[in-house]
Chains A and B, each alone.
Chain A
Amino acid sequence: MKSFDLHVRVEITNQRYTIIELTGFLDAHTVNAFENRIEEIVSSGQRQIVIDLKGLNYISSAGIGALMALTQRLRKESGNMVLLQPNEKVFKILDLLGFTKIFNVALKEEDVENYFQAV
């Protein structure tokens, strides 16, 4: 049977930002686990965060709400969040709600650096 889980993998590739790789479904069912994991990461001092969405198959308003809360928190604490390469379906949902203009969305890996240089 198909899995509707969310997998979160954290990778610190350099000193400048932390990459959080999401795979699966970010929805009403998995959002609490995501928020708990994010809380651990931000509480440990990470403020520059890239959320790698390449493997994310599905997002609902519950997931988008969690990304909004994270962005607001990071901005207040002089941090920054970049969404990396959402697939076409996820991009369309973010766009329908106006979030492609609000969130930093990098469509290519090499664009990520630009968002952190601008901070």
Chain B
Amino acid sequence: MEKEFVANSNAGQQCVILENRIDEIRRLSIIVEEFFGEHQLPSEMLFKMNLVFEEIISNIIYYGYEDDTKHEIVINMNLLNGILAVEIKDDGKAFNPLANPEPRLDAPLEERPIGGMGIYLVKHLVDEIRYNRYNNFNILSFRKNIRDKG
């Protein structure tokens, strides 16, 4: 029993399908929190991963669509050996958030645009991130060492 528990706590998968509404981010936060609890992952990382998810998904919801219809955002989480690998797929217009220029952190407040901060945070809170456009889908994939304190 003990052995099985340890094995389960080290690996896990979860697929979540969200609608393109801001309140769906809350539903995802609850699912992510349950996933972290189930796999006994550190709460410091839960804060960071919830932030990463909010920034990416709110960006898709606010800027990704050119119509007012319902769209699906598909999130796949994979945990293996302490590494969380996530893929976020949406059918919005082609947009690579990683190509945006980084905000100038030393600029005075008046010269700092509000846009671009979220993706800057994401890039600094994950270990690896990449973007692909495939079959009319945007696919953003990232990895994070969950055991890492940083």
Q: Which residues of chain A from 49 to 77 have a CB within 8 Å of any chain B CB?
A: 58, 60-62, 64-65, 68-69, 71-72, 75
**Which B residues touch A102, using CB under 8 A?**
108-109, 112
Nearest chain B residue, comparing its CB with the CB of A98: B105
Q: A28-B25, A58-B47 are in contact. Are A72 and B117 (CB under 8 A)?
A: no
A sample of 22 cross-chain residue pairs with beta-carbon separation below 8 angstroms, ordered by A number, consists of A1-B30, A2-B33, A4-B26, A4-B29, A28-B22, A28-B25, A29-B26, A58-B50, A60-B51, A60-B54, A60-B55, A60-B58, A61-B55, A61-B114, A61-B117, A62-B54, A65-B114, A71-B109, A75-B109, A97-B117, A102-B108, A102-B109
**Partner pick for B23 among A29, A61, A89, A98, CB 8 A cutoff:** A29
B 74-96 binary contact with A (CB < 8 Å = 1; else 0):
00000000000000000000000
**Docked pose: A102 CA to B103 CA in angstroms:** 14
B12 beta carbon closer than 8 Å to chain A:
no
A93, CB-defined interface residue at 8 Å: yes
Q: Per DSSP, are chain B's interface residues mostly helix, strand or loop, or mixed?
A: helix
A71 proximity list for chain B (CB < 8 A): 109
A106 to chain B, nearest CB (A): 18
* Interface residues, chain B, with chain A CB atoms under 8 Å away: 22-23, 25-26, 29-30, 33, 44, 47, 50-51, 54-55, 58, 103, 105-106, 108-110, 112, 114, 117-118, 120-121, 124
Q: Give me 17 other A-B pairs in contact (C-beta within 8 A), A4-B26, A58-B47, A58-B51 excluded.
A: A28-B22, A28-B54, A29-B23, A60-B54, A60-B58, A60-B118, A61-B55, A62-B118, A64-B117, A65-B117, A68-B112, A68-B114, A89-B44, A96-B124, A97-B121, A102-B108, A102-B109
